[in-house]
Structure 1
Amino acid sequence: MLSGARGRLASALRASGVGRRCLHATGSRPSADRSERAGQPPSAFDPALLEFLVCPLSKKPLRYEASTNELINEELGIAYPIIDGIPNMIPQAARMTHQDKKQEETEQH
């Protein structure tokens, strides 16, 4: 079972191009690859990754919110940002969503 999940995760990562971006961060990216992406917008988050990602705090599934480009944990009321198609799952980088809703309600009244 674990090997099957590992294979699906590897396929999803390859499809989203995460491997190429990781190589770029280390400086090992071929120059031809740089020129083909020049002028293109940053890649979007691949929702197929939601099958494998969970909140690092609660270990519960996350919901992708395209309008804010975040992964949302409804239970805890936190949102993890997605930067260049890569979720930043560090709890300190998350934003509180429940407080935002409470502020909106108070402003409307």
Structure 2
Amino acid sequence: MNVQPTKGTNGFTAIVAYIYFFPAIIAYRRNNPDLFEIALFNLFFGWSAMGWVGALVWAHQITLRKLVAYITSGSHCDLIKSTLRFAVTPTSHRGSRKISVRSGNHATNF
């Protein structure tokens, strides 16, 4: 008995695979350094809705390296640097280095 797949089965399988591995595809397109881990997580836990959504969120997370590169590039860099310079200033307290955070008229030492 020779069983032939029905017309359109291959297309349906491709669509289901694309949806299932969508988080890994997003991680690949965003050049996420955790691509391998995201793909493995997606492979083993993507069958559950929570695992699939978790992999999708993980794939969309911006990495610290990209965030620092974004902050330090462009015209907004001077504004951010001056704001950080004003808000966070190092102070000395009994010989140890402390951070003073200014908020309005108040200063808090950490």
Q: TM-score, normalised by structure 1?
A: 0.27
Give the number of the structure whose residues are more often helix, by fraction.
2
- The one of the two structures with greater contact order (alpha-carbon pairs below 8 A, sep at least 6) is 1
TM-score (norm 2): 0.27
